[in-house]
Amino acid sequence: IVHISTVGRNKMRISWVTDDRNTPSVVEYGESRGNYTASATGDQATYKYFFYESGAIHHVTIGPLAPGTTYHYRCGKAGDELTLRTPPASLPLELVVIGDLGQTRWTASTLAHIGGADYDMLLLPGDLSYADTQQPLWDSFGRLVQPLASARPWMVTEGNHEAEALPVVGFAPFVAYNARWRMPHEESGSASNLYYSFDAAGGAAHVVMLGSYAEFEEGSAQRAWLERDLAGVDRRRTPWLLVLLHAPWYNTNQAHQGEGEAMRAAMEALLYEARVDVVFSGHVHAYERFTRIYDNEADGRGPMYITIGDGGNREGLALKYAIIGRSH
């Protein structure tokens, strides 16, 4: 069960799960099939959830890698050879954005559609496996997305279905998600895997992945981190500034009305002042696109807000909309 993610300017994290706890956390790689000219070692861990114990979850960072280059790699010194392509070092950059994916026949259709595209990176604003405490569903989700997620970096942030918190029996939230889908939060100065940022296309794009389910109020660690992160973006060299989060701040669908409002109130001004270009969200199982907006008014300097939560999960589509003209 393999997926990859981008780390820093020119590295990739290879993440995979094995039943055998003795499998070495080693990735061998090179630019020719079967000819591995480099290798890297990482770490492994397991987690328990009720009677479930995960396989060994390995994370290995490989690189430095050349941009826009195909590499062949093998995990654990055994098994099948896989192939990845690194993102380009400059624009154009082709991104796939899809939320609330799940693992249904609709999901399979979405993945087939993505598989037919020649894209560079996938961004997912939360709700991945819909395991919802049924831990083997994390494994089946990994197998379902592996053909795509092992070939291009998948950059994700958490949704409500990743929480799986059971405080009565002492299960902290996001245990499985954090163990399996480690993102480059440390590299972006974030203390939490639930929010982070990264550069793409040689710094021409800066992508901020916010956490709808981490504290975001004034005085919170996430808000302080976001302020620092946005202050570090030089728009002269970074013309594109993108933000992803799970629960939409603007939404005329009847589903999940108002659930993003507190976060909007806490953070929207920061995004506006930084001149963010576009904000993608999920949560609502539908597609919706707003004009550029700020504080519930059309504003040409505000971001465009796009809901893209129709990835195919088992809960189906959200088809009912509020009265046209309402924006919150």
Mean pLDDT (the chain) is 95
All structural domains of the chain, each given as residue ranges with its CATH number in brackets, are 90-308 (3.60.21.10)
Give the whole-number percent of the chain exceeding pLDDT 90: 91
39 within 8 A of 71, measured Cβ to Cβ: no
Task: Give the pair of three-digit tokens for residue 24.
Answer: 């070495």
pLDDT tens sequence across 125-177: 999 999 999 999 999 999 999 999 999 999 999 999 999 988 777 778 999 99
- Exactly one of 3, 185, 246, 256 is catalytic; name it: 256
Question: Is 326 a residue whose pLDDT tops 80?
Answer: no
pLDDT value of position 314: 86
pLDDT tens sequence across 198-238: 999 999 999 999 999 999 999 999 999 999 999 999 999 99
Closest CA to 42 of 8, 80, 77: 77
Strand ranges in 2-101 using DSSP code E only, listed in sequence order: 2-7, 11-18, 26-30, 38-41, 43-45, 48-49, 52-53, 56-62, 70-75, 82-85, 95-97
Residue 323 pLDDT grade (very low, low, confident, very high; cuts 50, 70, 90): low
Question: Is 294 a residue whose pLDDT tops 90?
Answer: yes
Q: Note the residue count of the chain.
A: 328
pLDDT tens sequence across 244-290: 999 999 999 988 899 999 999 999 999 999 999 999 999 999 999 99
Crossing angle between the packed helical segments 105-115 and 136-149, to the nearest 10 degrees:
20
Reply yes or no: is the peptide bond before residue 64 cis, omega within 30 of 0.
Answer: yes
pLDDT value of position 212: 98
Give yes or no: 256 in active site. Answer: yes
